[in-house]
Amino acid sequence: MTRDELNAHRLVKEAKETELRSFTRRHFLKESAMGLGAIAMGSLLGGCNFGAKTNNPVLYDPAHPLLPKSPPYFGKAKSVIYLHMAGAPSQLELFDYKPELVKMDGQDCPPSLLAGKKFAFITGVPKMLGPQAQFAQHGQSRAWISDNMPHFSTMADEVSFLKAVSTDQFNHAPAQLLIHTGSARLGRPSIGSWATYGLGTENQNLPGYVVLTSGGSFPDAGKSIWGSGFLPSVYQGVQCRSEGDPVLFIKDPHGMSRDLRKASIDAINASNELEYANYNDPEILSRISQYEMAYRMQISAPEVMNINDEPQYIHEMYGTEPGKSSFANNVLLARKLVEKGVRYVQLFDWGWDAHGDGPNNSLNIGLKNKCRSTDKPITALLLDLKQRGLLDETLVVWGGEFGRTPMMENRNGIQNPYNGRDHHTEAFTMWMAGGGIKKGFTHGETDEIGYSAVSGKVDPFDIQATILNQLGFNHEQFTYPFQGRPFRLTDVAGKVIQDIVA
């Protein structure tokens, strides 16, 4: 028998032994003779009572890392679509109407708003800036929404607004990392990675975590914002495209047949199996799984990522343009992906900065253009999910990384040529819809000029805890061992925003 045959025989033997340990009573009783007594003792002590707090560890199977798993608690959401407007949209021109700010327009900023505060660019004494949009109340909830979002205003009764979100980061990259990974520094897993680690995916021919970008640039935090950190690499986000091939290099090279591609992957995986036999590194099994996933994706991904076959009324509804790269195309793809069982879809749309240092960075031109390109598809997404019966089980999240100041930005003490606002950490607006979230509800309130939260203040950790809660996880118990201690997404903070949970 050759060495390769011996290794193959050994792998088969190990696989059979593993299966026996998992499924036969003899192995179960042999391996858990003491464990049965511990289980009985635990029940006597109340440790196994329903509703009691337990760690609910997620069992990581490196050979099948994306198999669907049930959450430890009942989760109302099966999947998440997170719409991040990279650059931080101004809440004061979208959802947080402040009549008092209209009265203060053009006045010098009160010293109390500047003393002891840190800003990205404001220096000296800036002028106050009234809302650069017209507001009206909409729906039975009477939510204030500006004329920048005319289509979305029809969905006021489907969402819960979070009017008093705060953060402690006023630069884009750290703030984006904080809200998506729970840390302003590199190296932590993104929330999409946590979701797929905990739940796997319902479609084994597609990634569990898909990322779509638009706006012509990556978020300031780069690709690390959808990285898997210390989680196994199989849980990192897979970036797909709405233009051209959905994934780079997904097509077979010229002259390579499908059979030849399969044979090459089999040869690579045979080598990986030998490596695993020698080193017993579970990451090698994950690598094997990823190669096999890539092979299956060659068939599945182009079909799912193709929007050409959608009916004309859907294209009109979303404002999509097949063959082009756009936010609207990405939003339609997000609906198709969750419909096919993808667990977490992350959209990043770049270009929402509004300093006023140029037309594209202004409230009167740049912000309005961004709203014009996103208002219709976001509205269509909510309507489409609802009519397909998917909104109840799909959590949709919208927001940026921080807010904008009530005063006009005066970079280097000089008023910018266009109307703009500086970065602001103390208050901004996000919203959630579907996935067990209350409809037509507003949580939190800011002061009369939108500077600080006066009630219902929440932070990125609370947002993360709430998303995990809707997926069926207690964020305090959902952990992964790393560097000698159990890590969690929210680390040592975060509370579920119970007021918006239906």
Q: How many CB atoms lie within 10 A of CB 279?
A: 10
Whether the predicted pLDDT of 276 surpasses 70: yes
DSSP 39-61: HHHHHHTTTT-TT----------
Q: Over the chain, what is the mean pLDDT?
A: 87
Domain boundaries, the chain: 1-38, 79-242+307-500, 251-303
pLDDT for res 227: 96
* SS3 assignment, position 221: coil
pLDDT for res 14: 59
230: CB partners within 8 A, 6+ apart? 187, 188, 189, 480, 482, 483, 487
pLDDT for res 49: 33
Q: How far apart are alpha carbons 429 and 328 in whole angstroms?
A: 22
Structure tokens at 419: 């109307």
Structure tokens at 6: 């011996």
Mean pLDDT of 395-411: 97
Lowest model confidence (mean pLDDT) among 230-239, 371-380, 420-429: 230-239
pLDDT for res 15: 54
pLDDT for res 283: 75
Mean pLDDT of 478-488: 94
pLDDT for res 36: 46
* SS3 assignment, position 399: strand
Mean pLDDT of 282-308: 71
Strand duo 79-86 + 394-399: pairing: parallel
Q: Are 195 and 472 in contact (CB under 8 A)?
A: no
Mean pLDDT of 198-214: 92
Lowest model confidence (mean pLDDT) among 26-35, 200-209, 335-344, 399-408: 26-35
Half-sphere exposure of 473 (CA within 13 A, CB side): 26
Structure tokens at 358: 């140029």
Q: Which residue has the higher pLDDT, 104 or 40?
A: 104
For 79-242+307-500, CATH number? 3.40.720.10
Whether the predicted pLDDT of 477 surpasses 80: yes
Mean pLDDT of 118-141: 96
Whether the predicted pLDDT of 166 surpasses 90: yes
pLDDT for res 278: 82
Whether the predicted pLDDT of 156 surpasses 80: yes
How much helix, strand and coil, in percent to the nearest 5, is found in the chain?
40, 15, 45
pLDDT for res 16: 58
pLDDT band at 244 (very low <50, low <70, confident <90, very high): low
Whether the predicted pLDDT of 126 surpasses 50: yes
Q: How far apart are alpha carbons 416 and 414 in whole angstroms?
A: 6
**Is the torsion defined by CA of 321, 325, 328, 333 positive or negative?**
positive
Q: How far apart are alpha carbons 288 and 298 in whole angstroms?
A: 16
Whether the predicted pLDDT of 255 surpasses 90: no
- Radius of gyration over every alpha carbon of the chain, rounded to an integer in angstroms: 25
pLDDT for res 7: 53
pLDDT for res 288: 73
pLDDT for res 37: 47
Whether the predicted pLDDT of 243 surpasses 70: no
Name 368's bridge partners: none
Percent of residues, the chain, with pLDDT higher than 90? 69
pLDDT for res 263: 77
Name 479's bridge partners: 488
Percent of residues, the chain, with pLDDT higher than 70? 82
pLDDT for res 273: 81
Whether the predicted pLDDT of 17 surpasses 90: no
Q: What is the pTM of this model?
A: 0.83
pLDDT for res 413: 86
Mean pLDDT of 396-408: 98
